[in-house]
Amino acid sequence: MSDAFDGEALVNPEVESEAEVAFEGALRPKSLAEFVGQRKVRGQLQLLLDAAAIQNRTPDHILLAGPPGLGKTTLAMIVAHESERPLRLTSGPAIQHAGDLAAVLSSLVPGEVLFIDEIHRMARSAEEMLYLAMEDFRIDIMVGKGAGATSIPLDLAPFTLVGATTRSGLLPNPLRDRFGFTAHLEFYETGELVRVLQRAAQLLGVPIGDEALGEIASRSRGTPRIANRLLRRVRDYALVDGGGATLEAVRAALDLYDVDELGLDRLDRAVMGIILERFDGGPVGLNTLAVSVGEEAETIEAVVEPFLVRIGLLSRTPRGRVATKAGWAHFGMPRNANALFGDDL
C-alpha cells in the first residue's frame, strides 16, 4: 500500500528550480488578452486599469489571493506592462523589519508597481508602515529610542501595490481593507490548461496534439505552473524515445514520474495515506497531519488541501480533515465500517 504514496514532488507548485524560473519567464503572457482563464478577474483588472488610465492616476492597490502557480506573479507583471509602468519585485520573507520596507518604498519612482509576493509573511512592524504608505503615500521613520525617539515623516512617490498571498485569511483586516480590489484566483479547468499548454508548446517548439495536451492538462492539478512543467518532461521523453509527443508518450512519461491520472503527487498521497491508513479516514487535525508527513502545516493548508478538497477526495470539517468516499475509492481501499465520511458530515 505505501508504494502508492511514494514518488517525485513533480507536481508541487511551490518547488521551483533556477532552470524553471528562466523557463517560466519565457512563457509568461505579457497582456491580459494573452492570459488564459480567470475571466472574471481579467475583466475586473481591465476595468481598474482603464479607469486609472482615463484619470491619469496610479491604479488602485490590488491583492491577488490563491494557491501557488495560478498566475499571481504573471498578473502583477501584466498590470505593470499594460499600464506602462516600471515594476519592482520583492517578497514578504525579504521584509523582516520596517526598515527593509522603508528602503524599498522610499526608492520607488512615481507610478511604479510594487509587487510583494507572500505578503502575509511580512514582519508586523512593516505591515503597520505599509498601512500609511498605501493610504497617504507617506511613512513615518522612527529615529532614536525610548523617550528621545522622534518620528520623521517622509513623502513617497505614488505607487500601486500588488500583493500576492496563498493565505488571505492570515492578513490582518486593516491591511486587507486597504486594497481597492481583491482577486481570488481559482484552479483552472482542463480546457483552459490545454490553451496554456498549446501556447507553451508553440513557444517551446514541441509538436503535440490536443489529445496529448488534454492528458497533460488533466494531470496538472488545475495549475498552469505544473502543466508547463509536465510538458517539459513529456518533451524530454519524446526526444529520448524518438516517437514524438503522442498520447501514449504522455501517459508513459507521466507514469514514469509517478503523476497519477488525477495529478496527485507524493505529498498529496502521503497526506491521504496518513488519513486513510493511520486515522481510519479521519478526522485528523492539521498539525497532526503536518507532523506525520514531515511538512509544514502552512504548505499542507495552502498547497495540498485546496486541491484535494476541490477534487472531492478530502473534506475540511470543524473537527479536522476527513477522507470522502471518493478519497477511499481513489486509493482502492475498502471503506472502514467505523469511518466518518467527509461527505456525510
Ligand X SMILES: Nc1ncnc2c1ncn2[C@@H]1O[C@H](COP(=O)(O)OP(=O)(O)OP(=O)(O)O)[C@@H](O)[C@H]1O
- Check residue 204 for interaction with ligand X (CB under 6 A): no
In sign, the C-alpha dihedral spanning 163, 166, 168, 171 is negative
CA pair distance 140, 102, nearest whole angstrom? 9
Q: Which stretch binds ligand X (CB under 6 A): 27-35, 51-59, 93-101, 138-146?
A: 27-35
237 contacts 252 by C-beta, under 8 angstroms: yes
Sole residue written with cell 490563491:
66
Q: How far is the CB of 44 from ligand X (least distance, A)?
A: 15
- Check residue 222 for interaction with ligand X (CB under 6 A): no
Binding-site residue numbers for DNA are 316, 321
249 contacts 241 by C-beta, under 8 angstroms: yes
- Check residue 226 for interaction with ligand X (CB under 6 A): no
Q: How far is the CB of 93 from ligand X (least distance, A)?
A: 12
User: Which x/- pattern over 109-148 shows residues binding ligand X (rule: CB under 6 A)?
Assistant: --------x-------------------------------
In degrees, rounded to 5, the angle at the alpha carbon of residue 182 between the alpha carbons of residues 76 and 155 is 70
- Check residue 165 for interaction with ligand X (CB under 6 A): no
- Check residue 307 for interaction with ligand X (CB under 6 A): no
225 catalytic? Reply is yes
Binding-site residue numbers for ATP are 27-28, 69, 72-74, 135-137, 178, 188, 225
225 contacts 24 by C-beta, under 8 angstroms: yes
One-character DSSP codes across 278-320 = ISTT--B-HHHHHHHHTS-HHHIIIIIHHHHHHTTSEEEETTE
Q: Which stretch binds ligand X (CB under 6 A): 54-62, 101-109, 147-155, 220-228?
A: 220-228
251 catalytic? Reply is no
- Check residue 36 for interaction with ligand X (CB under 6 A): yes
220 φ, ψ to 5°? -105, 20
Residues between 48 and 87 that touch ligand X (CB under 6 A):
68-74
Choosing from 58, 90, 165, 166, the catalytic residue is 166
Binding-site residue numbers for Mg(2+) are 73
223 catalytic? Reply is no
CA pair distance 5, 260, nearest whole angstrom? 11
72 catalytic? Reply is yes
Half-sphere exposure of 13 (CA within 13 A, CB side): 28
67 contacts 222 by C-beta, under 8 angstroms: no
Binding-site residue numbers are 27-28, 69, 72-74, 135-137, 178, 188, 225, 316, 321
- Check residue 160 for interaction with ligand X (CB under 6 A): no
Contacts with ligand X, residue ranges (CB under 6 A): 24, 27-29, 35-37, 68-74, 117, 164, 196, 224-225, 228
